[in-house]
Amino acid sequence: MISTLLLTLATLGSQAQGNGLDRIRALHASGEVVRARWMAEAAHDRDRSDYEATMLLADIHYQRPVIGRYEALRLYRHAANLEPDSLEPLYGVINVGRYLASDEGETIARNAIYKIWAVDPDYRDTWDLWQQFFIGESQYGRAIEILSRYVNRLDVRLRIASMFLDLNRFVEADSVARQIQADGHRDASLWAIRAEAAFANQDIKTGTSLLFTAIDSSAYDTTDYLFRQVATVANTTEVEEYAETRPGDRPSFWQAFWESREPDLTTPENERIYEHFSRLRKARHDFRLRHPYGRLAHDFAGESEFRVGTGASGWDIMTDDSLSRYRRLGMDGRGVTFMRYGEPRIRWKDGDREGWNYDIDGVNAWITLAIDQGDYLLRPIDIPFHRFEVGPTPGNPVFHDYDEIVETDRSSIVPDLELQFWAAQFRGDAGATSVFVRTDPEGVHARIWDAYWVVEDSTTGAGVIELESSGGSSHIGIDFRNDDNFGSVRGDLLVHAFPEGRLKLSSLLVVPGAHPDLDRNSALSLMPVDLEFSTDSAITLFTEIYFLRAHPDGRFKYDLEYRFVPVGESDEDAIVTFEYNRDRQALPTTLESVVIDPRRIRNGEYDIIIRVTDRVTGSVTLVSRVAVGLN
């Protein structure tokens, strides 16, 4: 009877305590933090062996000022002793360590993660959190020792292989990846890890082959490892596109990623790939972020606060998951810069400040950094420019825009030769568009890509060369190399389509001399690369007209208007116009040659605009133009 009564009283007491904790949680959630803390402390004092009361009080203390975090730490550790099988108290310890942010805080958090991994290597987001701390050789060694127990876990073994890469222990990384593949796994990350190891051994051919095997199988990249390899250079658009790319479309994404960075078409390999992994290897070793929690703090509401003084750059602005960009990449500002631009031409250092100088697209650019709470970050500082004579980039030195740094990356293969060229478009075979290119100097490698960087055509040759495209927004590349110089052009190109039955014009060609009966090949071969013409002799304008409508008498009837519009002038009186009425035999393609006496036109730079109006259909007007100089 007495034992039954005691059991009933204990049960009622437990229920009452549970109901009281629910009330405290409600007060806490409603913002009455002080009252909730008083009640939670009272509940904890009544029974210090109560795990739920201990955890609740720890959570409440965690949201107090700094002194509260230490009390929370003590309570989380006490809760872990009360319930050794529960990992939640250890996760609370991690949060305290993250908030404290110092080296002490990082040590507290890392040690708690190691204890969790000994039980569950996939507990919540501990893997992601661990990667956000500074990780030295000893930390890697401790993690590898713990995770090596999980010999049957693919995801854990992949982590170990990637850690060996971070340590520049490439033979071991390759060995682990090979062992996993021998067990029958074909995750794309395994090929990517082996590719990185091959590049580290300067085996470019094997590394490139392995990387493209990884790309071909990237629909099965379960850890997004391929993207993590390039996160340091991906721009905002690429980050967003990858997030939206379906697994089956990833091979196309990666082909475009690397094609858009092809620096030299005169060689069979894409040097930017090997260059990227070489930079990555050095940046991991030399420019690792040493104090990743030195600037930012977190609270339970998911909000964050700066711990920086004046001069914070956009790189300190937190992203959606409350990580600064530095911490996301694990590199300081020097690493960020090095990954995108490589070794600087000049590296100026003065105490805790540095300036890195580059030729960026022909601009004499400085990227500046300063130490902030233990790490070099991108910061605006003064540079004593008078100390340097930086060549060969002309012009005054400028500070590079920090916002542009996160959107661009460049190969160290920099052109030293200005390549002149023109491109002209004509209707090709089977509805395609022929893009003709001529350059100075001659003997180039050219390539045209569609809007998604899929190669449409490549060619090599001297004189006028031809590329074929299906039309639409495209990209064009033209490279020249000899023993002494390298010239390169990259640009966007709108390739015009010539659909059957629609009135269209080819590009307008301008050649020196009087040639009333030009054909396409002759006009292409005669048009000079610099598009400069003398007013002392005639010039001939050539174009092809497609799909004029024949009159019932079987002839084409159309009007031509050529307008020479001075570049940079708005005076309508300065425009010189030539007009013609045509009545010609109907042919599949109409060749139109007009000889112009340039003495009617004053010296200067001009846009030549041609309009064709089909008098049979009435209202159709098309425009083609080319820019020339008359002197």
Output the pLDDT for position 417.
93
pLDDT one-digit tens code per residue, 143-194: 999 999 998 888 899 999 999 998 889 999 999 999 999 999 999 999 999 9
Q: Which two tokens stand for residue 252?
A: 């196309």
pLDDT confidence of residue 101: 75
DSSP element (H, E) containing 614? strand 604-614
Core vs surface per residue 205-236: b (16+ CB within 10 A) or e = eebbebbbbbbebbeebebebbbebbbbbbee
Place of tokens 């030399």: 286
Residue 53 CA to residue 318 CA, distance in Å, equals 34
Residue 252: DSSP 8-state: H
The arithmetic mean of pLDDT across residues 442-462, rounded, is: 96
Angle at 197 between CA 191 and CA 199, to 5 degrees: 105
Yes or no: say if 251 and 216 are a contact pair by the CB < 8 Å rule: yes
Q: Residue 180: name the closest of 145, 146, 150, 224 by CA.
A: 150
Residue pair 53/17 in contact (Cβ under 8 Å)? The answer is yes
The pLDDT value recorded for residue 429 is 86
Task: Name the pLDDT band for 2 (thresholds 50, 70, 90).
Answer: very low
- pLDDT surpassing 80 at residue 98: yes
**Contact call for residues 261 and 270 (beta carbons, < 8 A):** yes
Residue 84, preceding bond cis, omega within 30 degrees?
A: no
User: What are 612's strand-pairing partners?
Assistant: 560, 622
Helix H, strand E, coil C: the string for 87-103 is CHHHHHHHHHHHHHCCH
Token digits of residue 628: 């020339």
Q: Are 611 and 594 in contact (CB under 8 A)?
A: no
Task: Check residue 306 and give its pLDDT.
Answer: 29
The pLDDT tens digits of the residues spanning 260-314 come to 999 999 999 999 999 999 999 999 989 998 887 765 433 322 333 323 233 334 4
For residue 43, pLDDT over 50 is answered with: yes
pLDDT digits (tens, 9 = 90+) for 360-413: 887 888 888 998 878 898 888 777 766 666 554 555 677 777 777 778 999 999
The token duo for 418 is 């200005």
Between residues 561 and 380, which one has the greater pLDDT? 561
Amino acid at 163: M
pLDDT on residue 314 = 44
**pLDDT of 14 above 70:** no
Average pLDDT, the chain: 87
Q: What is the pLDDT of residue 193?
A: 96
pLDDT, one tens digit per residue, over 322-348 is 567 788 888 999 999 999 999 999 999
Reported as a pLDDT band with limits 50, 70 and 90, residue 66 is: low
DSSP string, 66-90: HHHHHHHHHHHHHHHHH-TT--HHH
Q: How far is CA 381 from CA 116, 350, 360, 366, 407, in A?
A: 44, 11, 19, 10, 21
Is the model's pLDDT at 351 over the cut of 50?
yes
Task: Tell me which DSSP letter residue 247 carries.
Answer: G
Beta-bridge mates of residue 559: 581, 613
Gap between the Cα atoms of 220 and 563, Å rounded: 57
